[in-house]
Amino acid sequence: MSLQKIKEIEDEMARTQKNKATNAHLGMLKAKIARLKRELLEPAGKGGGGGGDGFDVNKVGDARIGFVGFPSVGKSTLLTKLTGTFSETASYEFTTLTCVPGIVRYRGARLQMLDLPGIIEGAKDGKGRGRQVISTARTCNLILIVLDCLKPLTHKRLIERELEGFGIRLNKKPPNITFKKKDKGGISFTSTVKNPQLDLDAIKAVCAEYRVFNADVFMTEDYDVDDLVDVIEGNRSYVPAIYVVNKIDQITLEELEVMDRLPHYCPVCAYLDWNMEGLIEMVWDYLAMVRVYTKPKGKLPDFNDPVVMHRERCTVEDFCNKLHKALIKQFKYALVWGSSAKHRPQRVGKDHVLQDEDIVQIIKKI
């Protein structure tokens, strides 16, 4: 049984001291665990995909935000306050049994928020509706991990583990590791970093677990075995997350100040509407969205209806594709007003990168 095997390997890893000499062995164990977990999560007969099906709720709006947390931390109270969509709340656990979507309109963008059932430890392995919840979380552009400030801080780590075990990586960039399989020549490793954590032996051990014996591995930043395993496994979701610490009406000001300083934290009291505005601003920030206004020829732009894109994918071409699939074929050039433009307007090609609140007029070929 995979679960037992995973447990055995985890125990072995806990017993093994971490140092240069054991690096390769630990790498091999980590790769083994990753493979076993993937097999465990893959639905029988289906290839990859993260495993399990989410709730049947359509993706609408410009971004999707999911609420994940233990039961009764206040997820439904939060959804009701933020979106105005009623989601049942009660003092008993597992009040919410399905996914309840709501919409917030903020700065011209439509944000879909998903209230989800509470999860418990072991959720990703099929406990409760956990897998459905975590599968849905994978489809989100941002995850709000809702915590109850009266509960132990270890809860944060438990939730993170459930999400990580399902291939979700929180507040992390995809590792910039080039991993190229080849036909012969063995494993080669090039790093521009001094004294990297990874060494050739560790990389060979990991690769052997995947039956890869010839490959070039290249990196310009320092990464560890977990990052390498993530790259070889592929199929990871890199999602930003905010830790929403709820029920702060129940703690002292001193306790609150400590929490306020932690990275990615947002203290709130959903019940009394405290810091809802602060939370939504942080949500906006973490979504990293860019609003671009369309300017029809000879008319003023419509400032109420921006085209909303992600900061990493916001070229003029991305903008065209958002407007109409066939538009890019007719594209001649664009006129841009706003902070990305050097002149007013600047004439640009399709690769020009737009910035928040730019105004764009597309000039088509005739």
Ligand X SMILES: Nc1nc2c(ncn2[C@@H]2O[C@H](COP(=O)(O)OP(=O)(O)OP(=O)(O)O)[C@@H](O)[C@H]2O)c(=O)[nH]1
Residue ranges in contact with ligand X by CB under 6 A: 69, 71-77, 89-91, 93-96, 117-118, 246-247, 249-250, 269-271
Q: How far is the CB of 84 from K ion (least distance, A)?
A: 19
Judged by beta carbon distances under 5 to 8 A according to partner kind, the member of Mg ion, K ion, ligand X, none in contact with residue 175 is: none
Q: What is the enclosing helix (H) or strand (E) of 245?
A: strand 241-246
* Per CB under 5 A, 96 contacts Mg ion: yes
Letters for 35-74 (x = contact with Mg ion by CB under 5 A, - = none) are ----------------------------------------
Report residue 17 as tokens.
Answer: 């001291």
Q: How far is the CB of 81 from ligand X (least distance, A)?
A: 9
Contact assessment for residue 340 and residue 310, using Cβ atoms and an 8 Å cutoff: no
Nearer CB in complex with ligand X: 73/109: 73
Q: How far is CA 178 from each of CA 23, 197, 199, rounded to the nearest angstrom?
A: 20, 16, 15
**Burial (0-12, 13-18, 19+ Cβ within 10 Å), 76:** buried
State the DSSP string of 108-168.
Answer: TEEEEEEE-----TTGGGTSTTHHHHHHHHHT-SEEEEEEETTS-THHHHHHHHHHHTTTE
Amino acid at 22: T
* Per CB under 5 A, 246 contacts K ion: no
Nearer CB in complex with ligand X: 178/250: 250
User: How far apart are the C-alpha atoms of 326 and 292, rounded to whole Å?
Assistant: 19
Residue with smallest beta-carbon separation from K ion: 95
Judged by beta carbon distances under 5 to 8 A according to partner kind, the member of Mg ion, ligand X, K ion, none in contact with residue 249 is: ligand X
Q: How far is the CB of 239 from ligand X (least distance, A)?
A: 20
Q: What is the enclosing helix (H) or strand (E) of 283?
A: helix 276-287
- Residue of 23, 76, 275, 340 that binds Mg ion (CB under 5 A): 76
Q: How far is the CB of 167 from ligand X (least distance, A)?
A: 23
Q: How far is the CB of 119 from K ion (least distance, A)?
A: 13
Nearer CB in complex with Mg ion: 95/294: 95
Nearer CB in complex with K ion: 144/308: 144
Dihedrals phi, psi of 218, to nearest 5 degrees: -135, 135
* Per CB under 5 A, 141 contacts Mg ion: no
Q: How far is the CB of 71 from ligand X (least distance, A)?
A: 4
Q: How far is the CB of 136 from ligand X (least distance, A)?
A: 14
* Per CB under 5 A, 136 contacts Mg ion: no
Looking up tokens 């709130």 gives 268
CA diameter of the chain:
72
Contact assessment for residue 102 and residue 89, using Cβ atoms and an 8 Å cutoff: no
Segment lying near Mg ion (by CB under 5 A), choices 14-22, 75-83, 154-162, 314-322: 75-83
Residue with smallest beta-carbon separation from ligand X: 118
Question: Nearest to residue 102, comparing CAs of 146, 61, 54, 53?
Answer: 61
Q: How far is the CB of 151 from ligand X (least distance, A)?
A: 11
* Per CB under 5 A, 22 contacts K ion: no
- Residue of 2, 22, 85, 95 that binds K ion (CB under 5 A): 95
Contact assessment for residue 346 and residue 333, using Cβ atoms and an 8 Å cutoff: no
Report residue 345 as tokens.
Answer: 């307007």
Strand partners, 180: 216
Nearer CB in complex with ligand X: 95/188: 95
Q: For the chain, what's the residue count?
A: 366
* Per CB under 5 A, 246 contacts Mg ion: no
DSSP code, position 356: T
292 dihedral zone (left: phi>0; alpha: psi -120 to 50; beta): beta
* Per CB under 5 A, 151 contacts K ion: no
- What residue ranges bind K ion (CB under 5 A)? 72, 90, 95
- Site residues for Mg ion per CB under 5 A: 75-76, 95-96
